[in-house]
Structure 1
Amino acid sequence: MAAKKKKITGDKKRKLLLVLRILLLTAALLYLFFFFYNNYFVENKAKLYFSSVDANYLKVEERVLDEKGDLYLQLFKELKAGPTEKELVRTIPEESKLLDYQIEGNNLKLNFSLELRNNHWGGSTGELMTIYSIVNTYTSLDEVESVKILLEGEEVETLVGHLDLSQPLMYNQKLTVSN
């Protein structure tokens, strides 16, 4: 026995087309809503990395940044200001300055004043927390893969004698803990 093919009448075709049009219109409206929401209503949040009190790890603290200001300078300003959470501590000496920066491909060169070294509290752990606080913060940006640290425009082998800064550094997940 052959299966009978069911014909769709003109009235049913119109109803089916109407339902399809409504679904397409709904999908288009939802797409536009999410597009505008993500581009115009989501705050410009940045991830900053600060040291735990015991200096065993870095933890993220989110900050809202001014969309009109220079992102790289704002990130350093916020790092220098220190954390707002009690269980975290600052990683950057207050007197330090970010003199300028250059982006070459996915590598970011950050040029700091000598105060980053001269006013640093020292120690291998302190140096590790300072450097990776900077590196992890900047590499959390989509466009930055690695960070090269300079002091007064000069390449340096180390900040205070413990961590090799002769090469660009990448994000260090081993030092971070999730919130």
Structure 2
Amino acid sequence: MSRRAKILWIALLVVFAGGLFYLRSLARRIFFEPPAHSDESAKTRLNEAVLQSGAGPNEIAVLYFPSLSGRMLVAESRPIKWAPAAADRVREVLLALAEGPSQRLGHPLAAATTVRAVFLTLDGTAYVDLSSDLVSGIYPGIEAESLAVYSIVNSITTNIPTVKRVKILIQGQEVDTLEGHADLTEAIVPDPTLVKGSP
């Protein structure tokens, strides 16, 4: 086999391997399966947060989870024992998202995600400090990252009306993006057009 033929053969193998990797990544995004992880830790933390906050009776919360297609958010109603303080309610929403959907939908937060801190400002901005575990359940790509971000933002602002925008911090630090795509440099306002069935 000539040198030129060998180079051509190697190039074809590289292109073929790259194509397989791309198709595999694309299939994971199109057929969006929830990551394999235990929801028990999220449920435990949610129950502990409820007990510590002195929450009242159950009220219906609306949470938003990524659709299996990875193109929109799907609303899911769930009873939550709301805490009296708005910051505690934000924490409860985040823990409920980490607990995951009851339907066959995507997970915007890994179950291991820890809510490190929540701060609310008078202008309606919620600063939420999450652990780096957040990104472990998110598939790569701009659509998946954006839906994960807006799952958080839309869920918080829908259930806590005094919150108008959300600034996401990771491990106490400001970050430019979630995993290289979704812009986190500024506080984010909700986007209702991402919700399935919205006008």
> Please, what TM-score do these two structures have when normalized by structure 2?
0.64
Deviates more, 1:123-132 or 1:110-119: 110-119
The equivalent residue for 1:92 is: 109
Structure 1 letter corresponding to 2:72: Y
> Please, what TM-score do these two structures have when normalized by structure 1?
0.71
Larger Cα Rg: Structure 1 or Structure 2?
Answer: 1
- After TM superposition, give the deviation of residue 118 of structure 1 in Å: 4.7
Q: Are 1:168 and 2:187 counterparts? A: yes
Structure 2 letter corresponding to 1:104: T
Give the fraction of aligned pairs with identical amino acids, expressed as a percent.
Answer: 28
Q: Secondary structure at the match of 2:81?
A: coil
Structure 2 letter corresponding to 1:62: S
Q: Cα gap change, 1:165/1:73 in structure 2, threshold over 3 Å: closer, same or farther?
A: same
Aligned 1:74-93 pairs, distance under 5 A: 74-86=92-104, 88-93=105-110
Structure 2 letter corresponding to 1:171: P
Q: Is the 8 A contact 1:135 1:146 kept in 2?
A: yes
The equivalent residue for 1:64 is: 79
The equivalent residue for 1:34 is: none
Higher normalized strand content (fraction of residues): 1
Q: Which 5+ residue runs of structure 1 have no aligned equivalent?
A: 1-41
Q: Are 1:117 and 2:135 counterparts? A: yes
Q: Secondary structure at the match of 1:135?
A: helix
Structure 1 letter corresponding to 2:196: V
Q: Secondary structure at the match of 1:94?
A: coil
> What is the aligned length?
137
- After TM superposition, give the deviation of residue 167 of structure 1 in Å: 0.5
Q: Which 5+ residue runs of structure 2 have no aligned equivalent?
A: 1-56
